[in-house]
């Protein structure tokens, strides 16, 4: 009850900001009934047709991208198992629908007791599977009351977050104690979950699903079709700057304008992180005297040439993974401000020469592995980033070696999906091998 009051108070405080974002950026228009009141019986009946169901929750785009292998393997173990997938954001929901179909996807309810109870009552899942770290008090408490097993997969808990949870341990410890299983990305996260209250016997290290989700090769239709659309020629050196935040696009544009004077082969692809910033980035490109070629304008148009004054602006959701494969030079955004970085394993899987900024706390273990293996370069400002890109252009063998090392790191650490699926199967009593294979 106290949590409900706090949530309502927070919602009232944030309502002007939410209304502004809805009107200005067209956010928060989808799924508000499910978010506020929970999953209806009619909607739940479309999500599950059999007696066996699990609820898999992925917060946004990054988490949704990790689910494909998990879902495929679970369905192989039991084809009759229904998997309902929820997301919290518009972009995450849209990508989940695109990848898994709208008959499987719904918006996660807000953590009000009535919304959570209604969702669990109507969906009747055998297990609640939470990707990374989405620990809501009412959701986990009510799931336990209704005998729904709760497991965190790809668990990531930084020292900073763990310290915050422990500071309010009188409120949060019961949440961590209620988790039935936690599959962590690394040893540090495992220790932090235990320190926050999860019994050590329920905590395991399965590795990061992001390694398994990383691409294997550029030789695929998804990459080739985008390269054709962009007009990439074999002599081009394509620099992809992805998952960018405020200020990072301007930095990339300034570097591009400077380097292209002496490197006519250089081309730039910008992929902002948030849809509401697409128009703003287009204006930045125009103000620099360049032409923005927006992916959303006509994704089916195949260009035959790429004007050096043109910058590709990927203003669509869920495509960054394939655009990393179009370029051989990659800069991972979200790392020059205070966001904590974004996933650098997708360009690593392609064997790109990777750089990122000084703040990568969200991917500390992955960053360390790449840097230790000489598979990436950390830069601290615009001058260092420009020097990195210029070296990739002037010393191609060094750039290729950087990419090979990055790809090697990815290949060495694959396998988390199998370990994670085994943990889920053990928790809800699925067979150890696919039914068709066992037969």
Q: Under 8 Å CB-to-CB from 391, ≥6 apart: which residues?
A: 398, 399
φ, ψ dihedrals at 267, nearest 5°: -130, 150
Alpha helices (H) in 270-415, listed in sequence order: 278-287, 320-324, 345-350, 364-372, 382-394, 396-412
Is 249 part of the annotated catalytic residue set? no
Cα–Cα distance measured from residue 367 to residue 335, given in angstroms and rounded to the nearest whole number: 11
Cα–Cα distance measured from residue 324 to residue 328, given in angstroms and rounded to the nearest whole number: 8
Cα–Cα distance measured from residue 249 to residue 271, given in angstroms and rounded to the nearest whole number: 9
Sign of CA dihedral 314, 360, 190, 345: positive
C-alpha pair distances (Å), 307 with each of 118, 233, 314: 55, 11, 16
163 closest CA partner among 196, 138, 117 = 196
Cα–Cα distance measured from residue 410 to residue 329, given in angstroms and rounded to the nearest whole number: 17
169 closest CA partner among 151, 208, 196 = 196
Q: Computed over its alpha carbons, how large is the radius of gyration of the chain?
A: 22
Cα–Cα distance measured from residue 388 to residue 409, given in angstroms and rounded to the nearest whole number: 21
Cα–Cα distance measured from residue 439 to residue 433, given in angstroms and rounded to the nearest whole number: 10
Burial class (CB in 10 A: 0-12, 13-18, 19+), 14: exposed
Contact 191, 158 (CB under 8 A): no
Identified catalytic residue from 49, 63, 319, 346: 63
Cα–Cα distance measured from residue 127 to residue 130, given in angstroms and rounded to the nearest whole number: 10
Reported as half-sphere exposure (CB side, CA atoms, 13 A), residue 409 has a value of: 29
- Report the side by side order of strands in the sheet with 53-57: 105-107, 82-87, 53-57, 127-131, 149-155, 181-184, 203-205
Alpha helices (H) in 196-354, listed in sequence order: 209-213, 221-230, 248-259, 278-287, 320-324, 345-350
> Which positions are catalytic?
63
């Amino acid at each position: 009850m106290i949590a409900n009051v706090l949530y309502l108070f927070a919602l009232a405080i944030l309502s002007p900001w939410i209304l502004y974002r809805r009107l200005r950026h067209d956010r928060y228009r989808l799924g508000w009934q499910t978010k506020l009141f929970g999953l209806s019986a009619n909607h739940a009946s479309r999500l599950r047709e059999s007696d066996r169901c699990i609820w898999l929750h992925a917060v946004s785009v990054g988490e949704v991208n990790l689910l494909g292998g998990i879902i495929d393997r679970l369905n192989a173990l039991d084809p009759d198992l229904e998997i309902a997938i929820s997301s919290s954001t518009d972009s995450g929901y849209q990508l989940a629908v695109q990848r898994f179909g709208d008959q499987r996807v719904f918006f996660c309810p807000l953590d009000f007791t009535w919304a959570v109870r209604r969702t669990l009552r109507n969906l009747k899942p055998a297990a609640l599977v939470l990707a990374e770290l989405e620990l809501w008090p009412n959701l986990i408490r009510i799931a336990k009351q209704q005998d729904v097993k709760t497991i965190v997969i790809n668990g990531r808990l930084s020292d900073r977050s763990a310290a915050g949870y422990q500071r309010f341990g009188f409120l949060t410890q019961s949440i961590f104690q209620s988790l039935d299983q936690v599959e962590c990305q690394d040893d540090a996260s495992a220790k932090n979950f235990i320190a926050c209250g999860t019994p050590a016997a329920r905590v395991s290290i399965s590795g990061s699903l992001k390694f398994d989700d990383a691409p294997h090769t550029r030789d695929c239709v998804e990459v080739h079709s985008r390269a054709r659309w962009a007009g990439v020629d074999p002599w081009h050196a394509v620099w992809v700057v992805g998952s960018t935040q405020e200020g990072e696009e301007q930095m990339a544009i300034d570097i591009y304008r400077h380097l292209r004077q002496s490197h006519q082969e250089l081309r730039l692809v910008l992929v902002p992180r948030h849809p509401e910033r697409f128009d703003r980035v287009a204006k930045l490109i125009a103000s620099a005297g360049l032409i923005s070629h927006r992916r959303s304008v006509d994704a089916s148009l195949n260009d035959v040439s790429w004007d050096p004054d043109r910058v590709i602006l990927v203003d669509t959701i869920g495509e960054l993974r394939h655009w990393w494969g179009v370029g051989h030079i990659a800069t991972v955004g979200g790392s020059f401000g205070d966001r904590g970085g974004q996933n650098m394993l997708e360009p690593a899987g392609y064997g790109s020469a990777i750089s990122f900024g000084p703040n990568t706390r969200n991917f500390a273990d992955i960053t360390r592995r790449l840097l230790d293996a000489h598979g990436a370069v950390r830069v601290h400002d615009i001058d260092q980033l420009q020097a990195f890109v210029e070296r990739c252009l002037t010393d191609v063998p060094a750039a290729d070696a950087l990419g090979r090392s990055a790809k090697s790191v990815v290949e060495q650490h694959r396998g988390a999906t199998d370990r994670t699926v085994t943990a889920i199967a053990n928790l809800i009593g699925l067979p150890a091998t696919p039914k068709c294979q066992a037969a």
